[in-house]
Amino acid sequence: MMMGFILPSTTSCVVYNHTSTRNSNKSNKRNFISAPRVKVEGSKISSWLPKFLSHQRQQTTKTKYWIISASFQTALEEFVNCSGAKGVHERAGISRSKSKILRNKGIERPLIIGVAADSGCGKSTFLRRVNEIFGTKVSQSHTPQGELVTVICLDDFHTLDRKGRAERKVTALNPEANNFELMYQQIAALKEGHDIMKPIYNHQTGLIDPPELIQPNHIIVIEGLHPWYDSRMKQLLDFTVYLDISDEVKIAWKIQRDMAERGHKLENILASIESRKPDFQQYIDPQKSDAVAVIQVLPTQLIPDDKEKKVLRVRLIQREGIPGFQPVYLYDEGSTIDWIPCGRKLTCSYPGIKFHYGPDNWYNHDVSVLEVDGNFEKLEELIYIESHLNNTSTKFYGEITQQLLRNSSAPGSNNGTGLFQVLIALKMRQLYEELTGKSVAPVLI
């Protein structure tokens, strides 16, 4: 079967013949070390194309594009790299025919899920839980890919590299630094079942790396700053989750990660958060108003003026009336309930645990809110909490508790962040099953 990628013919390019695009992770350049390199100018493309991509070619003078057909294997092994973001984005492509992976994997309808949040707000942590629920082991490549799930990071659609942003004095959150047209075209193509050559933003070098091949999958999660900033993207998404982390908690998490794990200075972390704030408020935060589910993380109300931010108040805001999504409720659907479960069945030390459930309004949408303030002392006792939750989309009694126990060392497993992330991952699984008619086997210990 033939696959064609559309490549422009005008820019100077370097052709690399490398071994695997799938391994193009953070140290992408590694793949190219021993590769034969041929430097060509636009007009000479016709002389080298046949050598590398043997099959048919034709030029459409109007668009100045070369339409290149190549076998699937050839396209995997060879691609074109031009220096600079513009070159890479021009070389991003969409296969002309549908991917053969659709038939191989029995994919009828890729489900597209958007996860939005600022940097360092727990997207990766959440998506590890999602992959656990789907029982999917993902590759260690730049774009994690598993049997069921592929996770695309939207940072890959940055048009300005780190230097370019510094020169233009814009943050990565600014739409100017992102290619929403390409994002839309490529995610739409995946949803339609086409392979794409997607650019890569390399967080280690701050550069835009050559495109990698991404194929459709049963579930494609797009995570990042702007999954539905562009209204056309919203139309593509089957489910949306926003991680809404309050400033106080965001700073605490950033300090923990960037100081302890990355050796950054406190003043630099605070300055970076401050400098991003206006763009965050203008371009990222508004997406939370129409997410299907929002996990909101706030300082605790159980400790007056808490400085440590180790105890969190977490709210799961769930839209009502969304097809395929039935909000989780506590005890009695539609009621307003305050619940302190500490006592004989749940061990609590200071400052305790408090639940709340009830209807609410979120940016003019009817929602129901489930809230938990405090930390769980003994994770195995969560079964007591689980037995009071309904509409959880679990496949067996105790599945939520088991999931949290399996990942007990992951950040947030002992509070509402972990609990609500598991609940939302279960909702994704249920939606996938409803929309595709397929069944995902639950993961058992």
Ligand X SMILES: O=C(CO)[C@H](O)[C@H](O)COP(=O)(O)O
| Minimum CB–partner distance for residue 203 and ligand X (Å) | 4
What token pair was written down for 92?
């991003």
Q: Which of 159, 216, 153 lies closest to 188 in space, CA to CA? A: 216
| Minimum CB–partner distance for residue 341 and ligand ATP (Å) | 20
257 touching ligand ATP, by CB under 6 A: yes
The strand pairing partners of 389, in sequence order, are 330
Residue 253 contact partner, candidates ligand X, ligand ATP, none, CB within 5 to 8 A by sort of partner: ligand ATP
Among 87, 110, 210, 411, binds ligand ATP (CB under 6 A): 411
Within 112-131, the residues that bind ligand ATP by CB under 6 A are: 117, 119-125
User: H or E segment at 219?
Assistant: strand 219-224
CA distances to 79, 210, 296, 419 from 370, rounded to whole Å, are 49, 44, 10, 11
93 touching ligand ATP, by CB under 6 A: no
Whichever of 320 and 377 has its CB closer to ligand ATP, that residue is 377
299 touching ligand ATP, by CB under 6 A: no
DSSP state string for 80-117 = EE-SHHHHHHHH-EEEEEE-THHHHHT-SS-EEEEEE-
256 touching ligand ATP, by CB under 6 A: yes
228 touching ligand ATP, by CB under 6 A: no
Kindly give, in sequence order, each residue whose CB lies less than 8 Å from that of residue 224, ignoring residues fewer than 6 positions away.
Answer: 115, 116, 123, 153, 154, 155
Q: Is 173 exposed, middle or buried, given 0-12, 13-18 or 19+ CB atoms closer than 10 A?
A: buried
Within 234-253, the residues that bind ligand ATP by CB under 6 A are: 253
Number of residues that bind ligand X (CB under 6 A): 7
Among 94, 207, 225, 369, binds ligand X (CB under 6 A): 225
Whichever of 163 and 345 has its CB closer to ligand X, that residue is 163
163 touching ligand X, by CB under 6 A: no
| Minimum CB–partner distance for residue 124 and ligand ATP (Å) | 3
Dihedral sign (CA 271, 417, 129, 317): negative
172 touching ligand X, by CB under 6 A: yes
Spatial strand order in the sheet of 13-17: 37-40, 13-17, 78-81
Count CB-CB contacts under 10 A for residue 43.
Answer: 9
Number of residues that bind ligand ATP (CB under 6 A): 14
| Minimum CB–partner distance for residue 404 and ligand X (Å) | 27
For the CA atoms of the chain, what is the radius of gyration?
24
Alpha carbons 240 and 329: distance in angstroms, whole number: 19
Among 4, 45, 70, 155, binds ligand X (CB under 6 A): 155
Whichever of 51 and 203 has its CB closer to ligand X, that residue is 203
Residue 327 contact partner, candidates ligand ATP, ligand X, none, CB within 5 to 8 A by sort of partner: none
Residue 25 contact partner, candidates ligand ATP, ligand X, none, CB within 5 to 8 A by sort of partner: none
173: left (phi over 0), alpha (psi -120 to 50) or beta: alpha
Whichever of 18 and 129 has its CB closer to ligand ATP, that residue is 129
203 touching ligand X, by CB under 6 A: yes
Among 42, 135, 146, 206, binds ligand X (CB under 6 A): 206
Quick one: CA torsion of 161, 163, 167, 170, rounded to 10 degrees?
50
| Minimum CB–partner distance for residue 91 and ligand X (Å) | 20
Alpha carbons 200 and 152: distance in angstroms, whole number: 10
Alpha carbons 141 and 270: distance in angstroms, whole number: 31
273 touching ligand X, by CB under 6 A: no
What token pair was written down for 8?
């422009």
| Minimum CB–partner distance for residue 53 and ligand ATP (Å) | 35
296 touching ligand ATP, by CB under 6 A: no
Residue 10 contact partner, candidates ligand X, ligand ATP, none, CB within 5 to 8 A by sort of partner: none
What token pair was written down for 96?
């002309």
Whichever of 15 and 116 has its CB closer to ligand ATP, that residue is 116
Would you tell me which residues interact with ligand ATP (CB under 6 A)? 117, 119-125, 253, 256-257, 411-412, 417
Would you tell me which residues interact with ligand X (CB under 6 A)? 119, 155, 162, 172, 203, 206, 225
